[in-house]
Amino acid sequence: MSMRKIGCEGCDNITCPSTKEVLAQDVAKGVKTAFHRVDDRGMSACLFGSGGVCCRNCNMGPCQIIDGVAEMVGVCGATAETVAARNFSRMVAAGSAAHTDHAREMVQGFIATAKGETEHQIKDVAKLHTLAKVFDVEIEGRDKNEIALELGEKCLAEFGQQSGFLTMLKRAPATLQAMWKKIGVEPRGIDREVVELMHRTHMGVDQEYKNLMLQANRCALADGWGASMMSTELTDIMFGTPVPIRSIVDIGVLQKDQVNVTVHGHEPLLAEALCMAAQEDDMLALAKKAGAKGINLVGVCCTGNEILMRRGIPVAAGFIQQEIVLATGAVEAMVVDIQCIMQSVAEVAKSFHTDIITTNYRAKMEGAVHIQFDDDNAIISAKEILTKAIANYKKRGKFYIPESKKLDVVAGFSNETVNYIQGGRFRASYRPLNDNIINGRIRGVAAMVGCDNYKYSDDTHEIIARELIKNNVLVLATGCSATALGRAGLMRPEAAQEFAGAGLAEICETLGTPPVLHMGSCVDNSRLLLAVSQMVAEGGLGEHISDLPVAGTSPIWMSEKAVAIGQYFVGSGLYVIFNALPVTGSKKMTKYITEGHEELSGGKWAIEPDPVKLAHKMIAHIDDKREALGINKKQDRVLFDMDMRRDLGGGAVAGVGCAGPGS
Ligand code: SF4
Ligand code: MSK
């Protein structure tokens, strides 16, 4: 197989060996990816757009605002801070709407399952009972489907609810609930908050940037503590709560002698149906008849994370590799549903035998084949899709599957798993984590979430995570950040010994976990809200989420969903740092979200483009919180004998020594 030069400036952002390997093959010749298009655009981004001060909310504009220049306000008089807040708020609304529509689909699928109208089942009855109690659904003497139906209907009602507040807000620490009440940002109904935010950003409505940001908070909280949390919880109940599972993340998971089907997007209803159908005898017989040894289902983006977490199905690609996986020439069909699917995949597929199959009426694409996925006939829909893919196998031409070293990942760290591994079935808790933060073995916790982005080097997540774990910060990852960290080998238990500081390595060795824990897809960031709430509830680390030595980042985000996630973290009291945010065209708005916001919820935003500096700002924040808690003391190294270990109580996971966070 001859090699060629990749040849574009955007391609300098590629460090992934498999991506480089594929793009250097003749089979990928002529394939134009977003890496090339970043290069071809050949112009730097508009300063007004980057700064968030370009307004096109009415037809008197577009207006480009220059902060502090009286003549350069909008035609309507809108100032830089008003426009920046409106644009930021609209990103929050769009991101929340995306999670919300996804969640609604999952809740409807859950209700249909409870009614026996789908091929799925209620798998996790313990979790069903836990959530039923949160929603005041009676469980005694009732069948699981009966409970699930009432629970599902109560959840569905919260989308259109007009008053009161969302039920799952009560899972937050009481201190945070009180803060939300005081500033009036408790979400009333999920859809209502999105609609109100869109209304208030319309020309001539809310022109006070701080007031607008209150509604942005309320909308984002409706996403995090409402839509996203519902989606995660009901999906777990229906498809099983993730437990640690070993798999692989790499383009090289494609198989040369099987029908390769990639599942790309976000909603696991379709992916689960495909997983079931791909194992059925008639489908396997059809694949064999076509000359293939089987059907190889692999994930892309967050659908990939969903089926990795619950089934251990390999992930072929994160967001920025979606075109590359097609450029192998080895994919018979890329099945897509909603969100983060680039229109360019249809163009790339034209060079090969690959079908792009859209499956959701909301998300069609020119050049793709549409097969509507019907959840009531999930297996029939899934078989129709697989039959089309199998038919393509014989048409496969030249292809190249990368052979670079494939590293294992251990995924599946739901909250339930994190509780379990710290104390077993009977003493499951977050106590050991809190204790090890207090004693300094673990300096703090970092959430790494969100997308990758062609504009930045594809090892950005790895650089940041390595810096964090080296400094004894435990990393919890979701979304394409998790995919990137899995690809980099940081989700193997061995990575703790190779890359983590002494304290964190010791804990990981005792528990057998990696230093970076995969907690799921984008909607699963709600797991992180519950994790920090539980850390507060366990005690010893303050009364508020904002007291915890915890920081979050989406370092090279691209989707509006990442902004909604960031805002619900900030609105829940966390420090969140991004590489860039389109607000910097307004001094007041920048100051408000990076400083003033702290008075509202204890949380605030920060901006830092350099990955190493970004990691160190997270560490500095963690140290500030440790200092405030009075636990930022370097611990003396103590060797524990067996009696001392038994004596630790609470299922503590202490290892043989104790290294302070600064060590
Ligand atoms: Fe310009 Fe105001 Fe219209 Fe925006 S709303 S485009 S700032 S006139
Ligand atoms: S898929 S939103 S690129 S994480 Fe969830 Fe990845 Fe970001 Fe899409």
Query: Counting atoms of ligand 2 from 1, which one is nearest the CA of 561?
Result: 2
Per residue in 433-453, pLDDT (tens digit) is 999 999 999 999 999 999 999
533 close to 67: Cβ distance less than 8 angstroms: no
Q: Are strands 315-317 and 444-448 parallel, antiparallel or unpaired?
A: unpaired
Q: How remote is the CA of residue 519 from the centroid of ligand 2, in Å?
A: 14
What kind of fold does domain 63-239 have according to CATH? Substrate Binding Domain Of Dnak; Chain:A; Domain 2 (1.20.1270)
Q: How remote is the CA of residue 299 from the centroid of ligand 2, in Å?
A: 13
Q: How remote is the CA of residue 566 from the centroid of ligand 2, in Å?
A: 13
pLDDT at 647: 44
What pTM value is reported for the model?
Answer: 0.94
Domains in the chain: boundaries: 9-50, 63-239, 251-395, 410-632, 636-663
pLDDT at 4: 60
Rounded to the nearest angstrom, the gap between the alpha carbon of residue 504 and the centroid of all alpha carbons in its chain is: 24
Retrieve residue 119's tokens: 């091929």
Q: Is the CB of 61 under 6 A from ligand 1?
A: yes
Per residue in 493-523, pLDDT (tens digit) is 999 999 999 999 999 999 999 999 999 999 9
pLDDT at 655 over 50: no
Per residue in 606-619, pLDDT (tens digit) is 999 999 999 999 99
Same fold, 251-395 and 410-632: yes
pLDDT at 183: 96
Q: At what angle do helices 80-114 and 190-200 cross, to 10 degrees?
A: 160
| Bridge partners of residue 247, in order along the sequence | 409
* Lowest mean pLDDT segment, chosen from 257-261, 327-331, 636-640: 636-640
pLDDT bin (cut points 50, 70, 90) of residue 3 is: low
Range 627-638 average pLDDT: 75
pLDDT bin (cut points 50, 70, 90) of residue 6 is: low
Per residue in 174-217, pLDDT (tens digit) is 999 999 999 999 999 999 999 999 999 999 999 999 999 999 99
Q: How remote is the CA of residue 60 from the centroid of ligand 1, in Å?
A: 6
pLDDT at 389: 98
Query: Counting atoms of ligand 1 from 1, which one is nearest the CA of 55?
Result: 4
What whole-number distance in Å separates Cα of residue 13 and Cα of residue 397?
Answer: 29
pLDDT at 9: 64
pLDDT at 643 over 80: no
What whole-number distance in Å separates Cα of residue 392 and Cα of residue 387?
Answer: 9
pLDDT at 429: 84
Share of the chain above pLDDT 90, in %: 87
3-state helix, strand, coil in the chain (%, to 5): 50, 10, 40
pLDDT at 433: 94
CB crowding 147-182: b at 16 or more within 10 Å, else e: bbbbbbebbbebbebeeebbbbbebbbebbeebbee
What 3-state class would DSSP assign to 546?
helix
- What CATH architecture does domain 251-395 belong to? 3-Layer(aba) Sandwich (3.40)
Q: Is the CB of 55 under 6 A from ligand 1?
A: yes
Retrieve residue 108's tokens: 């409807």
What whole-number distance in Å separates Cα of residue 35 and Cα of residue 323?
Answer: 10
Q: Atom 2 (ligand 1): residue with closest C-alpha?
A: 76
What whole-number distance in Å separates Cα of residue 306 and Cα of residue 299?
Answer: 9
Q: Is the CB of 203 under 6 A from ligand 1?
A: yes
pLDDT at 334 over 50: yes
- 407 vs 46, more confident: 46
Maximum distance among all alpha carbons in the chain? 76
Contacts of 479 (CB under 8 A, 6+ apart): 302, 305, 449, 450, 451, 521, 522, 525
Per residue in 366-415, pLDDT (tens digit) is 999 999 998 889 999 999 999 999 999 999 999 999 987 777 899 999 99
Q: How remote is the CA of residue 395 from the centroid of ligand 1, in Å?
A: 54
Per residue in 579-601, pLDDT (tens digit) is 999 999 999 999 999 999 999 99
Of 303, 320, 561, 563, the one to substitute when testing ligand 2's pocket (max ligand atoms within 8 A of C-beta) is 561
615 close to 652: Cβ distance less than 8 angstroms: no
pLDDT bin (cut points 50, 70, 90) of residue 663 is: very low
What whole-number distance in Å separates Cα of residue 38 and Cα of residue 49?
Answer: 17
Residue in 315, 455, 416 with CA at minimum distance from that of residue 18: 315
Domain 410-632: CATH class, spelled out:
alpha beta
Find the distance separating the first CA and the last CA of the chain, reported in whole Å.
49
